[in-house]
């Protein structure tokens, strides 16, 4: 199996700079939100679609970082 559509984007949630890493391995779509520095994992989601994986990962990250 091979990873596809690997993408790294940056953004900000609650004043924290984040990186949004997404890709799929076959039919499994992954999205991980990490702090830009040093790279601690804030949320990670596996889903059946790319959009949903990103949406849920961002949602969890917002919840966690706004506490």
Partner 1 sequence: MSKYANPDVLVSTQWVDDHKEDAKVVVVEVDVDTKAYDEGHIPGALGWNWQTQLCDTVQRDIIPKDQLEGLLSNSGIANDTTIVLYGDNNNWFAAWAFWQLKIYGHKDIRIMDGGRRKWLQEGRDLSAEIPVVRISNYKASAADLAIRAFLPEVREEFQSPGTVLVDVRSADEFTGKILSPPGLPETCQRGGHIPGARNIGWGLACNEDGTFKAFDELEALYASNGVTPDEQVITYCRIGERSSHSWFVLKYLLGFPTVKNYDGSWTEWGNLVGAPVETGNGASA
Binding site for partner 1 (CB under 8 A): 1-4, 6, 8, 16, 21, 23, 25, 28, 30, 32, 34-35, 37-42, 44, 46, 64-65
Name the minimum Å distance from CB 63 to partner 1.
12
Shortest Cβ 49–partner 1 spacing (Å): 16
Shortest reach from residue 51's CB to partner 1, in Å: 19
Dihedral of the alpha carbons of 11, 60, 54, 41, in degrees to the nearest 10: 70
């Amino acid at each position: 199996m091979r990873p596809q559509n690997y993408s790294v984007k940056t953004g900000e949630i609650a004043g924290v700079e984040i990186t949004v890493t997404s890709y799929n391995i076959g039919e499994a779509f992954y999205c991980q939100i990490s702090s830009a520095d040093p790279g601690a994992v804030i949320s990670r989601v596996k889903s059946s679609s790319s959009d949903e994986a990103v949406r849920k990962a961002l949602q969890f990250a917002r919840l966690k970082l706004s506490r």
